[in-house]
Amino acid sequence: MKPLVLIILVISLMTSCELVKQIDFEPDYDGGKIIAHGFISQNYGVQVQISKSVPSNDTHQSSYVPDVHVTLYADNFPVSNLNETDSCFFISPDSIILKEGVAYKIIITTKDYGTAESGEQYILPSIDIDSLIYRKDTINWKGEKLLYSFYDPENNANYYSFYYDAFHDEDLILSSKPDDSFILSYFDDRLFNGQKTWREESFYSTFYKFDTVHIVGRLFNISKEFKTFLESLKEYEYTKEDPFFEYTSPVFSNIKNGYGIFGSYTFSEKKITHIKPK
């Protein structure tokens, strides 16, 4: 066989792979469903953002929902309407006192997109951070750690998330919280159920530039539904652009007749100050 023929064949094979073209494909559309992303916590009460779903192939369409009301229910009884503070962003009035052991849910009523109802959530107890320690690596000059400990209550599975911020004066100089997102990472208590546990976060910082740095650690106690939502978001991100997965993992929702999440969390906070050694 002439080498030229072989080269042409191989080039044909290579160039014929990975073909992408635009097609006319009419997607299904759910017609616009209510989307609620909301949380209930001891720290901030109830916060909910309402929008509507837009067609998959027209994501620039407005998701604004006019004439929407959000009502908070406690043990299936209406407690209060939430106040709209911004466009479709609702918070609970200051007069509402949230209690542990009560099942809370929200019902969203709209003029054009019907009614949606969330799953029930309970106010979670605050789990205090027992210790928070900043430690510079003594062996190598760059590594740093933030060590924290807490006591895990001895009951059913608990789910946690930990974030830290560091400030010099009032300026934020380091944060573990993702940009433009609420909590994303989490861990469970399978390895330390009912015990005191120590955990650590490693990072590289510019603390050495400042005389004083304030470090704030926040330990979130999150509900199982919230954890499932975060887990599904992670799987969604992992599978969404990979055609070889059988299907993209959908994002978990506990909003009946809609999408989104109504989750519960409570966080505790501990602050330490790091002073540059002389």
Partner 1 sequence: MPKGEISIKVSYVGYNSSNIVFDLQRDTSINFTLTSVQLSEVLITGKSESNIKQTNTGLEIIPINTLKAVPSLMGVPDLIKAITFLPGVSPGRDGISEFFVRGGDRGQNLIMLDGAKIYNTNHVGGFVSLFNSDAIKSVDLYKGGFPARFGGRASSVLDIHAKDGNINRKHSKFMLGVMQSSLLFEGPIKNQNTSYLIAARASYLDLLTLPIRIKNNIRSEGSLAGYTFFDINMKINHKLNDRNKVFANFYSGSDFQGSEEKSKNESSEDHLQLHTNILTIGHTLISTSKMFLKTSLIYSDYRNKISSAFSSNYYLDNYFHKSTSTSTIKELSLKSIFEWNPGSNHSIKTGIEISRYSFLPGQVLIQNRDSILASQADTIIGSAGLLRSLENAFFIEDDISIGPSVSLYTGLRVVGYFYKNPLMFNFEPRLSMRVLLSDNLSVKVNYTRMVQYNHSLVSNYQGFEREVWIAATDSIPPQKSNQFSTGLYGEIPAYKIEFSIEGYYKRMYDLINYQSATGVFSDFSHLEKLIAKGGKGWSYGLEFLLQRSVAPVSATLAYTLSWSYRQFNDLNNGLKFPFRYDRRHALSVLTRITLNKQYSLNSNFVLSTGTPFTLPVSYSKDNSFYYGYFNYSGINNMKLPLYHRLDVGIEKTGKTKKGNIKKLSVNIYNIYAHQNPVYVYYNPYNGKTYQKSLFSIIPSISYSIEF
Interface residues with partner 1 (CB under 8 A) are: 1, 5-6, 9-10, 12-13, 16-25, 27-30, 32-33, 35, 37, 39, 47, 49, 51, 53-60, 63, 89, 137, 139-143, 180-182, 202, 232-233, 235-236, 238-251, 259-260
d(Cα 56, Cα 61) in Å, to the nearest integer? 10
Dmax over Cα atoms in the chain, in whole Å? Answer: 87
Cβ proximity to partner 1, 243 vs 277, nearer residue: 243
Residue 39 Cβ vs partner 1, minimum distance, rounded to whole Å? 8
Alpha carbons within 13 A on the beta-carbon side of 75: 5
Please report the beta strands in 66-113, taking only residues with DSSP state E, as ranges in sequence order: 68-74, 77-81, 83-86, 89-91, 103-110
Residue 101 Cβ vs partner 1, minimum distance, rounded to whole Å? 26
Q: Are 116 and 255 in contact (CB under 8 A)?
A: yes
Token code pair at residue 83:
């106040």
* CB atoms inside a 10 Å sphere around CB 41: 21
Cβ proximity to partner 1, 49 vs 197, nearer residue: 49
Cβ proximity to partner 1, 167 vs 264, nearer residue: 264
Phi/psi at 232 (5° precision): -70, -35
Cβ proximity to partner 1, 30 vs 100, nearer residue: 30
Residue 202 Cβ vs partner 1, minimum distance, rounded to whole Å? 7
Cβ proximity to partner 1, 20 vs 97, nearer residue: 20
Residue 18 Cβ vs partner 1, minimum distance, rounded to whole Å? 7
Cβ proximity to partner 1, 20 vs 275, nearer residue: 20
d(Cα 50, Cα 109) in Å, to the nearest integer? 10
Residue 130 Cβ vs partner 1, minimum distance, rounded to whole Å? 24
Residue 166 Cβ vs partner 1, minimum distance, rounded to whole Å? 19
CB-based contacts of 76, cutoff 8 Å, min separation 6: 103, 105
Phi/psi at 145 (5° precision): -140, 150
Cβ proximity to partner 1, 6 vs 172, nearer residue: 6
Q: Let me know if 192 is exposed, middle or buried by CB neighbors in 10 A (0-12, 13-18, 19+).
A: middle
Q: Which residue, among 264, 40, 267, has the nearest Cα to 163 in the 3D structure?
A: 267
Alpha carbons within 13 A on the beta-carbon side of 137: 13
Residue 34 Cβ vs partner 1, minimum distance, rounded to whole Å? 10
Cβ proximity to partner 1, 167 vs 266, nearer residue: 266
Annotate 210-221 with b (16+ C-beta within 10 A) or e (fewer): beebbbbbbbbb
Residue 169 Cβ vs partner 1, minimum distance, rounded to whole Å? 28
